[in-house]
Each structure stands twice: as C-alpha cells, then as structure tokens.
Structure 1
C-alpha cells in the first residue's frame, strides 16, 4: 500500500504551523574545494567497555528495540514544518517546551538495515533523534515508532558510559552535545565535539539496559544492587570510542554533526564554524568522509579519510551524503545546499533551527531527506523528497 495512504489512515499526516516555504528558485554558490584526505584519521576502540557492558546486561537486565517500543509512552502529533514535506510530526509537550533539552541528531532504522523488510530493525520501523540535556547534564535518544501498525508514540533512552568493574559495574552520564548520529547495523555512532580531539562515541542498539524508574531524578548508575538512570526505564551503554587525529599543522576537526552514507559504507562529518563569532570556532568549514572496514559496521583500528572538502559555508548543523552527493544544512542561514560531487553548490531556502540530516533510501518510492528543528516550542521532525533538493 502507498506509504502516504497508510499514514493518512493512521492520522500521521497533518498541519500545525509551517515554519518554512515551498521550494524557491535555487541559488548557485562556489564549489567545495577538495583537500588531501590523508591528513585526517580515526582510531577505533571497540573493546574497552566490553566486560562492563556484558556485566551490566546480566545484572541490570536487557531489552530489545521491539520491547522498548512496546512500552513507548510519549505521543507525537502531526506537524507541518516546511511546505515541501511529505511527512512531519512534533514531539510531546514535555519535550517541545523543555528549556533544558535540545534535539540534535537524526537516524532511522532504514539507515541501520537498508530497504529490506521496509527498513525494519528488530521488526520495527523507527526513527532515532538525539537530545542533549542541560539539567542533569546528559544525552539521550528518543526512539520513535514510524509504522502505521503501531501507536504514534516514542520512548526516551538515556545514553550512559560504563564505569566500575566487571564484578561491580555501574555507569555515568554521557555529557556531550550529541550533535549528530549515524546508525549502521546494530551500532549507533554519536558525534562527540567535547572530546579533545573530537570524534564519536559508539552504542549498540541490541544492548539496551533496563533500569529502575524509582529513586530521584539525580540518581545515576548503581545504588546498592539497583541501577538508576534519572527515572528513565532504559539506558544505552557506550561500547566503543572513535578518536579523531590530524597531521601536524592541520587544525583539529570540530565534530559538529555526522550521518551515514550506506552506498559508500561510510560516515560523513562536518564542522560548525563561524565567519566571525566568539563562542564557536572560526575559519574554513571542512567535511570529511571515513569508510567502514569490509564486512561490517565497524572501523578498522586505524582509518584514513577517503574524502575531504573545504566547504564555502558556515554555521552547519547538518550534513548528508548518498552515493557521492552531499547536502549541508546551515541553521543560521536557513539554507540547504546540495553538491553533486563536481561543479557549484546549489542552495535552497530551508527551515529555522534546522539540525542534522539523514538520507532515507526507498526501493518502492521516492528517496527522502529527514531533518528536524530544535527551537523551543516547536520541535519537529520532517522529511522531504531528496529530488526536490538535488
């Protein structure tokens, strides 16, 4: 059945208040400049947390994505974010109006598994949105059902870093901006701009912890024989760390946001840089591609970038790539720029408070670009046909 018909039947398409406009005439911009990618490297560690994660799963309990979604307890409602969208919804009031929580990154189960089975991971078609929280300082994902066979609901899952020992494991908050996420196979990669140098933290969607919803809001980790996560019922423990390195004389990368390119089996990242501001790095914006090792969703112990660009744009909150093409979202400029791999950039009007991007490949319909807005009072997720912005 047509996806839009299913969504209409489930009441998922609707209109609240548009914050964008129909596609206006595109503007040409200078082309990105290619630079030597060998100056950028990643070092991957997928083993340091293994013993503690396995102990946490045994002692705290384990839940699958399907089980988590069976207990989704926050409702989403239809929303129009931009007139060109094909899907759109907004979060519950508790997330929309929270002055201490801000949505940032986006990925989908179709990133994780591709188009097979309509992009279902553990039997569910879902969207993941990362949030950073100011109080208590922490990070989380909202895992959202995207299937007409299930309720219009989502569940919050706290991101945690294992501590303690394998005999007595615990965990603490992941205090990062969580500016972008990429989901491939079981692994969820989260941009870490706080690390020096920056990089990514890695989580495993097949290793979700069950935690006690009692206690107080500030309780985190093991308390006696009980595990607390700020009253969350679920926590997702870190399973790996990806560190970024650059050649001498090259400025460290600012890991603002990331996304997955399934076709080239790579993660792309870009930086949030300003032309003239005091609170953020200035200078030329770079975008870099790092490829996974053959046969799985992990990086080799050491990975050299396969592509690097100097992008003539600033204030980038979102990056996307698919089969060599690139998209860049500038929240401050309210623009979405497309680069086909050669020639000039094409820049389109976009939304206010726009954040990360995720490419949704569809074997039976148009491919989509998913994005979201972070402005307090209207925090919404939406999708447009990528062909309209290419």
Structure 2
C-alpha cells in the first residue's frame, strides 16, 4: 500500500482490553459497545455521488449503442495479450556484506509450481513504478468449488491519472500463463453547457487495495485520503458479465466524433455498477481489503482495515441469496498488534492476515484463532511489499498473495522479488 501518495489513517488504536477470569483477555465494556455489529452498516449507492439522478445501469444501457453488447470474463480471458513467466525456482540470495540480501518467502511455505512474475518485457508490469498490484481473487471465491484457473489482480496508478486496472490471468501450473489488463471505469451522466445529458466514462480515483469475486460480482475495497482529509466511500462493485470493448487510443471517454470511446490505450473496460458507502455509527472503518468467507452458516464478505498503528478491525457482512451485501454487519473484531494489515482470510477456524513492513523489510503471514487477545499463534516470513490474500479451498488449500513493489534484478541483486504472484501453505 502506498503511504506517500495516499496517507493511511493513523491513531486507530482500539479501546484497552480488560483482564477476565482464567487469565484470558476480553474486551472492556466500552470496546464491546464500539465493536457491536449494529454499529457497522453500509448503504447501497446506485449512481455516482456527484450525479445521483443518473443511475449507473441507465448510463450503461445508453452507452451500449456505442460500445456494443457486453462480453464475459471468459471472453476477456481468451483474448489475453501478455505472457507471464513461471517461477519454477526462486532466485538464490546473491547479496554481499555491503549490500545484504533482503529476506523473502520462507521456502517451506511456498506451494511448488504456484508462482509467476509479470512480463519482464512490459515496462509497466514487472519493473515499472507507475502501476502497483494490490488485490487478488480467483475462481474458488466465486463459487466455492472451482480451483483457481482465472486469477484477477487489481492495480492502482501511483501517478493518479489513470485510476485502477484489473488483470485477468489465465493461470496454469505447467502451460502458458497469459493475461490481459482491463481499465476500471466510472460510467456517468451530467448535463453539458446547453443542459443536454452527456453519457461518458471516466477513470476511477480508486486504490483497489483488496478485491473479492463472489458469483458475477467483483467487490473492490475503496479507502484513501483526499486533500489530506479522510475519504470513506466503502466498497465498489463491478459486474464480471459486463466488460466492454473500446477503441484503442490515448485519453479517456467519449471522443470528438461522439461515437467512439478511448480508455488510456486499453482495449477493454469494466464499468462500476454500484457501491456500498460507509454509514455506520462506529468509528469510521478504513476498508482496505475484502475476501470471501465460506466458513459460517452462509457466505459473507470479510473486510479488514489497514492501520498504521493500533488495532485494525475485521468485520463480516453476509451476502444475500442474489450475491448482494446485507447492510448490517454480522460481527466485528479488533486485532491486537495487527498493524499494517494488507490481507485477511478465514480458513476453518483460523484467520490468516498478511502484514507489511515498508519496502525494506519482509512481510509476514500471521495466524489467529477466535481469541484475538491471545495474539497470533504463528508467524512466517513473506515477501517485501506483501499485499492481499485469497484462499483456494478447492483441494490445493493454497493462500494466494502478491507483492506491490517494482523489481529490477539486473540492477539490484537484493531485489525482493516483490512483483511475484504466488501461493503459500496455510
């Protein structure tokens, strides 16, 4: 997560914990009240906040004569135009005493054959600093049965002018790994100078710190600072059945001819369909990560927050039968000593959280049980710049994760290999 352009909310320490019988720690009365599920609510928004009179679905429908019929995720995956590189063997340490090797993922944690790096030939992907990978999700998240064959990875533009993009990755343990980048866009309508309605698409001001695929919905965490003031919109939602093909060209939006659309050189766009805004009475939640939790009576969305200090909170919102989010949370927990949380998933009765420690130190995978106050039961080292988590429970039991920082192995033998996408064992 970029803490230079997008300053993360500080001072989010949870209320103190009080001692209880048997030596275990339980929340104080004040903290229990703060963490009451009834205080964590979301409200659905079906139009841009700056133009609430013009719902997204109406804009998308009016754009169809120009953009054509929507295409599916499978169609976009089948048109992949980039080739990733298998990582059969992780590079051996090659540092020197004056330039020591920066430690990376513990070998015993890696799942053999489950690692790749973005195309070295593309300056924006493996060694570029403009785009940073953030979130990851895969097929098992979507339906609870399918193994990871299509991985989705979110990126944000550190320069701020192109917003966020999604990589659709055709994953294989032995064959080719191909992918295509798609620009995430905001469909909107607003009156022009003559008062006539103008339908268009624009780039999203979106960090895309975590993503989760459930059914045909793609949920993307959205939290950041704008002009040094906190911005808490909540969660953006996209329909993976509604990719649109645009004319490849510079800039974004409707072109002077009135009929063609550009998207910063991308061939496909994925428009936002709705959002969930924070409306809770608890201290505002910095929603930085989302994952699908299938361990309770019904599937839900597990949301975690990044906290530079103090205790981040985990909150679970249940899904409806149609795959939408219920407005009221099911529960909320505070994670003591869990700062810099980047990803969180639940596997059985255990919670796994990734934490990062800047661009100079290795990240961690931490395992917690329901008794949060007892502390993490296990810690293991992950890559520098570790980000989101996604659990594949189809058989492999792998935890997929990734790193955000740019690599250049040719210039720096200590490179942390952070731009890898890989799986580890829980």
**Which bin holds the TM-score, normalised by the shorter protein?**
0.7 to 0.9
Kept in 2, the 8 Å contact 1:127–1:143? The answer is yes
Counterpart of 2:291? 259
Counterpart of 1:19? none
Kept in 2, the 8 Å contact 1:102–1:131? The answer is yes
Shift of 1:316: 1.1
Structure 1, unmatched stretches of 5+, are 1-29, 120-124, 276-282
Kept in 2, the 8 Å contact 1:32–1:309? The answer is no
Shift of 1:323: 4.3
C-alpha distance in 1 between matches for 2:208 and 2:201: 18
Q: Report whether the alignment pairs 1:68 with 2:103.
A: no
Alignment of 1:1-390 (within 5 A): 35-46=35-46, 48-61=55-68, 62-79=70-87, 80=90, 82=105, 83=107, 84-86=109-111, 87-93=114-120, 94=122, 95-116=125-146, 118=147, 125-135=149-159, 136-147=161-172, 151-164=176-189, 168-194=198-224, 196-214=231-249, 216=250, 219-223=251-255, 224-247=258-281, 250-264=282-296, 265-275=299-309, 283-293=310-320, 295-300=321-326, 302-332=327-357, 334-342=363-371, 343-346=374-377, 347-362=379-394, 365-377=395-407, 378=417, 379-386=419-426
Kept in 2, the 8 Å contact 1:259–1:357? The answer is yes
C-alpha distance in 2 between matches for 1:150 and 1:46: 41
C-alpha distance in 1 between matches for 2:176 and 2:381: 33
Deviations 1:306-331 (A, max 9, x none): 33334321111111123453111111
193-202 vs 92-101, which moves further: 193-202
Bigger CA radius of gyration = 2
Kept in 2, the 8 Å contact 1:140–1:159? The answer is yes
Kept in 2, the 8 Å contact 1:198–1:253? The answer is no
C-alpha distance in 1 between matches for 2:336 and 2:175: 41
C-alpha distance in 2 between matches for 1:148 and 1:285: 35
Kept in 2, the 8 Å contact 1:258–1:270? The answer is yes
Kept in 1, the 8 Å contact 2:233–2:278? The answer is yes
**TM-score normalised by structure 2 residue count:** 0.73
C-alpha distance in 1 between matches for 2:424 and 2:26: 24
Structure 2 SS opposite 1:69: helix
Kept in 1, the 8 Å contact 2:152–2:169? The answer is yes
Deviations 1:132-184 (A, max 9, x none): 01343410111100146974210001000101279752110011111000110
Q: 1:326 to 1:148 in 2, by over 3 A?
A: closer
Kept in 2, the 8 Å contact 1:32–1:310? The answer is no
C-alpha distance in 2 between matches for 1:309 and 1:323: 19
C-alpha distance in 1 between matches for 2:220 and 2:72: 20
Supply the RMSD in Å over aligned alpha carbons: 2.4
**TM-score normalised by structure 1 residue count:** 0.80
C-alpha distance in 2 between matches for 1:376 and 1:31: 41
Kept in 1, the 8 Å contact 2:212–2:291? The answer is yes
C-alpha distance in 2 between matches for 1:189 and 1:303: 17
351-360 vs 323-332, which moves further: 323-332
Kept in 2, the 8 Å contact 1:132–1:138? The answer is yes
C-alpha distance in 2 between matches for 1:147 and 1:206: 23
Kept in 2, the 8 Å contact 1:31–1:345? The answer is no
Q: 1:55 to 1:325 in 2, by over 3 A?
A: farther
Shift of 1:340: 2.6
How many pairs does the alignment contain? 335
C-alpha distance in 2 between matches for 1:382 and 1:42: 32
